[in-house]
Homo-oligomer: A and B are copies of this chain.
Amino acid sequence: MASAQTSHELENKPLAGIRVIDFGQIYQGPYATFLMAKAGAEVIKVEPVTGEPSRQRRMVNKGATVPFEMLNANKKSVTLNLKSEAGRALLKRMISDADVLLENFAPGVMDRLGVGWPVLHEVNPALIYASATGYGLDGPDRDNLAMDLTIQASSGMMACTGFPENPPVKAGPAVVDFMGGIHLYAAVVTALLERTRTGKGRLVEIAMQETVYPTLASSLGLQYELGDTETLRTGNRHSGLSLAPYNVYRASDGYVAIICVVEGHWQNLLTVMGREDLKGNPCYESHAARAARMDEVDSMVQDWAAQLTRAEIFEATKALKVPSAAVREVCEVVKDPHMHNRGMLEWVEHPRLGQVVMPNSPIRIHGADKVPYVAIGDLGAQNEEIYGDWLGISPDDLAAYRREGVI
């Protein structure tokens, strides 16, 4: 563990004392280190002297940097040019007293720069080196170019998403980037835990494509059952088309998702809809029976739902314990009273964005101290602190590094 441990030792934060050298960019890497920073780790975000791509989106508009400001909270900012000999030397000095290096460059980038896992492992045998890529560090597809969209395509996620009469469509949010990011976090913490027993560092790795595979669970079952057919897109219906009602229905002011998981839900939904006349009717008395007349069952629920608002449907179903939820717009989610009440979301006065909602970590460790939102500084804001105060580089040398584009 880094020497910082001593001063952090008494802190009531799970990752206190852990120092992370963070080359994460865009969404995937930065989400992993965001979670580390929120758990109390010291995260040093290292960017090229021009800034990482997400920071540069300031040129587009303020809104375009919201993801950057959200995912890089509570990190220190330094610049470093790994294409210079002096830059690589600075990295090695940091690595000798760090716990984790994390990067989500394409495979081989750090190796070509001369600072890949074998080199840094030599510098610090206790280092956890964490890599996230689209397809992984080896295998025939290693060098296929990967973005959230292309992995949604190659992983099977897209084929399962959308209405059967329409083309495949991506999950709108950048689900794959974030699945990668949280798996990367998990890999790092797993290796840190192991290190408390062994004292040894590890190369840990995430391939975005591989993190999607388990999520296909229902479709994998259908695929096993039906053989090599084309994937059936089922819209908002159950992936196996074996449950009904299970759909999204149009309300007078939007949409509501309703599911019957157990038979009691269906009985209660009949009560909610004022269709007690159907109770005991064998045409509807099991999932199998209702699935056989899915269109009819969906129409029945739809005709009822169309007369009511989302809120009315939700309240009526909740009262009788039938699972449902309004389909909410992002602007509603941002102001969600429940998530604000729980402290997952909070309004912060942001130095660049003004009043804005920022999230905390979804990893909730009860009893641990909270890490309040602190916006990341301007590019290189902690260059003096890290290179000067920590590594002991003189002001003159720092000035020279700046002139020469090393930092």
Contact = CB atoms under 8 A, between A and B. Distances in A.
Interface of A: 9, 14-17, 27, 31, 34-35, 39, 60-67, 70-71, 135-136, 138-141, 144-147, 149-163, 166-175, 177-179, 182-183, 185-187, 189-194, 196-197, 202-207, 209-231, 233-236, 239-240, 242, 246, 248, 250, 255-257, 259, 261, 318, 321-334, 337-339, 341-342, 344-345, 353, 356, 359, 362-368
Contacts of A161: 161, 169-173
A217 to B, nearest CB: 4
Ranked nearest first, the 6 interchain pairs of A and B with the lowest CB-CB distance are: A63-B225, A160-B172, A171-B171, A145-B323, A67-B217, A150-B325
16 contacts: A14-B191, A66-B221, A136-B364, A145-B323, A157-B172, A158-B257, A158-B327, A159-B327, A162-B163, A167-B236, A168-B255, A173-B215, A187-B365, A202-B367, A204-B363, A219-B330
A62 B190 CA distance: 34
A229 B342 contact: no
B365 A321 contact: no
A313 to B, nearest CB: 12
A246 B363 contact: no
Given A318-B144, A363-B206, A173 B192 contact: no
A41 B221 CA distance: 26
A354 B358 CA distance: 49
A221 B63 contact: yes
Q: What does DSSP make chain A's interface, helix, strand, loop or mixed?
A: mixed
Copies in the complex: 2
B189 A333 contact: no
A163 B154 contact: no
Given A66-B217, A217-B71, A338-B140, A325 B364 contact: no
Contacts of A227: 331
A182 to B, nearest CB: 5
Contact of A217 (B70, B170, B186): B70
Given A231-B329, A329-B231, A362 B323 contact: no
A218 B368 contact: no
